[in-house]
Amino acid sequence: MDNVPSRARVSVTISDQHAESFYFRLGDYAAGALTGVLTALAVRGVVGPHWDMVLAMLVGMALGMIIHLLLGLLLMPVLGGFEVMIPGAMIGMYGGMLFGMRDSMQYADVSLRTALAVGALFGLIVIFGVRWWDRQLRGEAFVGPKHGASNQE
């Protein structure tokens, strides 16, 4: 045949078995950004500059969890449970805590537009991290050469 080793010809990655379309990935990132923006908006609407930081973090976490659960109910049929709930929980809980802490300390220094942009960026970063880690856990599976095929190159 050609000069490609037999192992390279039959290699298969697990992610190929679950091929994702571009629009699915785009929806995944859009859901993460939306979760981050809505969490930042809710926290900004509730937490004020005179709040205790710990209380602001706890309220922000609760708001983020509620938002991610409500969005999860809407987006799960379209994107799937893992793709919505795992990153959504991280965005909602950790983002809510971070946004609550920020708004209790720097409410007047950070505009609403900047707060929402940070929320969207946080959501995108979490989606990227979860997708990257999922890919690392799945790894790459190599199928050996077919029976009777020689290993010579």
Global confidence as pTM: 0.75
As a residue count, the chain comes to 153
Residue 141 pLDDT? 54
pLDDT above 50: residue 17? no
Residue 44 has pLDDT above 80, yes or no: yes
pLDDT in tens, 7-16: 444 444 444 4
Name the region of 144 (left: φ>0; alpha: ψ -120 to 50; beta: rest). Answer: beta
Separation between Cα atoms, residue 70 and residue 122, nearest integer Å: 19
φ and ψ at residue 141, rounded to 5 degrees: -105, 125
Q: Residue 4: pLDDT above 60?
A: no
Per-residue burial over 123-147, b = 16 or more CB atoms within 10 Å of its CB, e = otherwise:
bbebbeebbeeeeeeeeeeeeeeee
Lowest mean pLDDT among 73-77, 99-103, 139-143: 139-143
